[in-house]
Amino acid sequence: MSVPFRMLFTWVSAFLLTLIPTSLHAESEGLVKSEAITNTLISFGTAADHLAAADELVSSGDSGKAITTYRFIAKTYPKSKEAPEAQFKLAKQLNKKGNFEAAFKEYQTLLQKYPQTPNFEESVADEISIANEFLKGMKVKFLGIPMVPSMEKAEEMYLAILKVSPYSKHAAITQFNLGLALQKQGKAQEAIAAYQKVLDKYPNSAACDSAAYQVGYVYQQLGMTGKSQDLSALKEAQNNYQDFLLQYPNSEKVQQAGQNMKKMLSKESVDTLRVARFYDFNKDFKASAIYYNDVIRRFPQSEEATEAKSRLDELKALYGEDSLRVGQERPENGERLAERRRLQAQVESMALANYNGPPKKDFVPEEAQLPRPQMKGDLRDTKPIPLQEPPVQTPQQKTPLAP
């Protein structure tokens, strides 16, 4: 191929390539996700000019174009003084249109990138309102279609709010609502921990009385639903309600707490009587007597106490009171009984004012514990005993034999 022809071929190939649509390459490659953010509404001007134009669009009712413009400002001029305001107004417009999840995301971006914004507290409040909608049962959208309500989404949002604004003036109510979201999911222990954190971290908050009440209420629900086999949840509920009544006597929940405690007492008396009946049915009368007496002692005005007393009287009549006595019974033979009575009489005699007999002695009954041995307290007492050598014996002098 000659040089001129080769050059002509190169020019023709370059010309043909310019005729191929540029979009064809992008589509076939499949790498272009979205177009670059541009503002076709205003092709010139500063960030302030764009912000003013977006505000005009909001005033005229064209929120869609306003959202596009606010987003353009936030992405194109992130370091400008208009960027925080544009980011805030973008989230506001999305929230008004009902795009709650998108609005929440933009609010989070604002709080993370521009924590010094004057709209900080208002943004946190708007985020809480969005999370509250999910807490109330608003359905989560999938592909734009509302599907199922999600307490998990509410929990996720409350945690995100607390992460970026742990000391906001709305932090305590956010922490409290997190407890509600956990409670509605059946996470009782986690909910109790969340409510307790309100009391520990925000002790001067107006949400403290509600948090203290909810701690007792969650324990009450655990006990009332029968999941607590040893009634410990009901006991914890009573303790927390009592603390609540002492610390917050002016709370609007005081009356409800009192009613709840009455319900729990009734529940506990019924459960205790049920345990007594169980042992009674299995002919373990000593154990049943313990629980019958417990019902009578702790719930004297209840119907269960009347029933327990009636059944206890029947058992005493049928089997005798000694058969219901609890504790070990030591058999006592005649010799031991006589010795015990003798010692008792001797002690009583020496206790008289006109006693003029032998000196008083200390009598130790057989049931008493023996005194503990005295331990050595001096190091000299622990030294080995010196050995004593026997005296040296001199050999006896033999009498010389006679010659």
Q: In which band, very low, low, confident or very high, does the pLDDT at 30 lie, cut at 50, 70 and 90?
A: very low
Residue 186 lies inside a defined structural domain of this protein:
yes
The number of distinct structural domains making up the chain is 2
Specify whether 137 is located in the same domain as 177: yes
Last residue of a domain, one of 155, 184, 202: 202
Window from 266-270, 309-313, 366-370 with minimum mean pLDDT: 366-370
Kindly state the average pLDDT of the residues 38-46. Answer: 62
CATH of the domain at 67: 1.25.40.10
Query: Would you say residue 161 has pLDDT above 70?
Result: yes
Residue 184 lies inside a defined structural domain of this protein:
yes
b/e per residue 229-260 (b: at least 16 CB within 10 A):
eeeebbebbbebbeebbeebeebebbeebeeb
Query: 213 is written with which tokens?
Result: 């009440």
Specify whether 71 is located in the same domain as 95: yes
Q: Measured between alpha carbons, how far is 150 from 159 in angstroms, rounded to an integer?
A: 15
Kindly state the average pLDDT of the residues 157-185. Answer: 96
Residue 248 lies inside a defined structural domain of this protein:
no
- Provide the domain limits for residue 82: 48-113
Specify whether 80 is located in the same domain as 128: no
83-120 pLDDT, tens digit per residue, is: 999 999 999 999 999 999 999 999 999 999 999 999 99
Query: Would you say residue 145 has pLDDT above 90?
Result: no
Specify whether 197 is located in the same domain as 123: yes
Residue 86 lies inside a defined structural domain of this protein:
yes
Q: Measured between alpha carbons, how far is 158 from 194 in angstroms, rounded to an integer?
A: 11
Residue 105 lies inside a defined structural domain of this protein:
yes
What pLDDT is stored for residue 299 in this prediction? 85
Last residue of a domain, one of 162, 187, 202: 202
Specify whether 55 is located in the same domain as 99: yes
232 vs 54, higher pLDDT: 54
What pLDDT is stored for residue 12 in this prediction? 44
Residue 257 lies inside a defined structural domain of this protein:
no
Q: In which band, very low, low, confident or very high, does the pLDDT at 302 lie, cut at 50, 70 and 90?
A: confident
Specify whether 76 is located in the same domain as 130: no
Q: Are 69 and 57 within 8 A, CB to CB?
A: yes
What pLDDT is stored for residue 336 in this prediction? 65
Last residue of a domain, one of 167, 182, 202: 202
180-219 pLDDT, tens digit per residue, is: 999 999 999 999 999 999 999 999 999 999 999 999 999 9
Specify whether 95 is located in the same domain as 125: no
Kindly state the average pLDDT of the residues 361-384. Answer: 54
Query: Would you say residue 176 has pLDDT above 70?
Result: yes
Residue 158 lies inside a defined structural domain of this protein:
yes
Q: Measured between alpha carbons, how far is 58 from 54 in angstroms, rounded to an integer?
A: 6
Query: 266 is written with which tokens?
Result: 């009734």
- Cα 250 from chain centre: 25
Write out 132-169 in H/E/C secondary structure. HHHHCCCEEEECCEEEEECHHHHHHHHHHHHHHCCCCC
What pLDDT is stored for residue 139 in this prediction? 72
Specify whether 141 is located in the same domain as 75: no
With residue 124 as reference, give the H or E element that holds it: helix 120-135
Residue 97 lies inside a defined structural domain of this protein:
yes
Query: Would you say residue 65 has pLDDT above 50?
Result: yes
Dihedral class, residue 328 (left if φ above 0, else alpha if ψ from -120 to 50, else beta): beta
Q: In which band, very low, low, confident or very high, does the pLDDT at 323 lie, cut at 50, 70 and 90?
A: confident
